[in-house]
Amino acid sequence: MQQIIHPWPAFYTPTSKILILGTIPSPKSREFGFFYSHPQNRFWKILLLLMGEETKQVTLEARQQFLVDHDIALWDVLHSCRIKGAGDSSIREPAANDFTEVLQNAPIRAIFTTGRKATQLYEKLVYPQTRRASIYLPSTSPANKCFFPDEVLLESWQIIKSYLL
C-alpha cells in the first residue's frame, strides 16, 4: 500500500458545463501528469468518439485543449488515500477533494463519476457537502473491457452530450 496525495488541481474553465470524476490518478497518470493517461485506458478514445473527433493518441496540451473546447472539467473524488497500484478495490483511508472552488467558479450542470468505486466514494464523502448527485458512468479502465466493450461504453457515455448543449 502506498499513500497517495492527488498531484494536481481540478482541470476546469469558467465555462465548464460538466465535471467528470475518477477516484485518484493511476501510477501511469501520475507519471504522465494528467488524467486517464494509461495507454490502455479508453477514456480519451471514448470522449473523442462521442464528440465526433478523430481518434488518435494526443499530447497533454491537445487533451487540455479538447476539454476546454468541449466545456469539460476533470478531477477525482479523492484528495488522498492508501492504494495498491491502480486498484480501486484496495483503496483505504480515503479523503475527498474539496469541490467548492470548481462548483463556485464554473456553471457545472452535471457531475459524472467513472466507475462504481468513484460513485460510492462520491456518495459517501462528497455528496453530503455538495448536495449535488453524481451520474454513474462505467469505468474506461482496461480491466473493464470484458464487461464493457467499447460499443457499450460509448452508448453508456452518450448521456454527457445532453449536458454539453
Q: In which order are the strands placed within the sheet that holds 18-22?
A: 72-76, 18-22, 110-114, 134-137
- Measured distance CA(129)–CA(86) in Å, rounded: 27
Burial of 102 (0-12, 13-18, 19+ CB in 10 A): buried
For residue 87, pLDDT over 90 is answered with: no
pLDDT, residue 39, reads 86
What is the average pLDDT across 100-118?
97
- For residue 57, name the pLDDT band (cuts at 50, 70, 90): low
Going from the C-alpha of 17 to that of each of 10, 52, 94, 163, 165, the distances in angstroms are 14, 18, 27, 7, 9
Q: For residue 146, give the CATH number of its domain.
A: 3.40.470.10
pLDDT score for 146? 72
- Domain containing 120: what range? 2-164
pLDDT tens per residue, range 118-152:
999 999 999 999 999 999 999 998 777 778 888 99
* Residues in contact with 88: Cβ distance below 8 Å, sequence separation at least 6, in sequence order: 23, 115, 117, 118
Q: What is the pTM of this model?
A: 0.95
Domain count, the chain: 1
Q: How confident is the model at residue 85 (pLDDT cuts 50, 70, 90)?
A: confident
